Amino acid sequence: MNKRQITEKLIEKGMAWAVRSDKYTDPNDPLEDQVNRRKTWHIHPNASYPHQNDIVRFDTLAEIEEWIE
């Protein structure tokens, strides 16, 4: 599944990209990841209540695809 297809699936299931739809390092990511500038994908599992404490992080689009299914 490519990024566009994943975006469509997220919308279908009431989910959304968190903040941005590219890989990035968020200030709320673990400190070690911030120091190492480790970028990940960030998903809000509930787009109608996109709370920062609910964000789920992924290393690859394949991980997101598996999690969505």
Predicted pLDDT of residue 13: 97
Specify whether the CB–CB gap between 3 and 20 falls below 8 A: no
Domain positions in the chain are 3-68
Measured between alpha carbons, how far is residue 44 from residues 14, 16, 30 in Å? 9, 5, 17
Q: What pTM does this model have? A: 0.89
Strand partners, 58: 41
Predicted pLDDT of residue 65: 96
41, amino acid identity: W
Per-residue pLDDT of the chain (69 residues; tens, 9 = 90+): 899 999 999 999 999 999 999 999 999 899 999 999 999 999 999 999 999 899 999 999 999 999 998
